[in-house]
Amino acid sequence: QVQLVESGGGSVQAGGSLRLSCTASGKTYSSLCMGWFRRAPGQEREGVASIGSGGATTYADSIKGRFVISRDNAKNTLILQMNSLEREDAAMYYCAAFERYNADYICPLTPQWLWDYWGQGTQVTVSS
């Protein structure tokens, strides 16, 4: 089992920045694909960004150039730096993980059934 705990959500004005963190425990962190997903009210959950154990990243088109995903394997921590936030970015953000030992693996955001472990989420609100 992997336990994931998110933090860093909050309220920000459009154009502002937020930094989300996720701390993992229970498995060897360096063996995990890590990712961020979000669900806005009335919408389906969608993948935002992922990062493999070797650092390969994937981003949703809607946030490319604005968000950056990174990981610190020594601290079992996943980061999502969100810049130039838009009202459409407002959502509950979830940290997720699944095991993949290949360091070169590019962790896909879909299908979501690949992602075995989920955090409770952290809310991001963006006001105009």
Q: What is the mean pLDDT of residues 85-96?
A: 98
Q: Give the C-alpha separation, 98 to 110, whole Å.
A: 12
- DSSP category for residue 66: T
Q: Evaluate if residue 21 carries a pLDDT over 90.
A: yes
| Digit-coded pLDDT (tens) for 44-81 | 999 999 999 989 999 999 999 999 999 999 999 999 99
Q: Is 45 exposed, middle or buried (0-12, 13-18, 19+ CB in 10 A)?
A: middle
Number of H helices, E strands in the chain: 0, 11
Torsion-angle region of 84 (φ positive above 0: left; ψ -120 to 50: alpha; else: beta): left
Query: How far, in Å, are 26, 48, 53, 75, 89 from residue 109 at the CA level?
Result: 22, 7, 15, 23, 17
pLDDT at 101 over 90: no
Structure tokens at 8: 């860093």
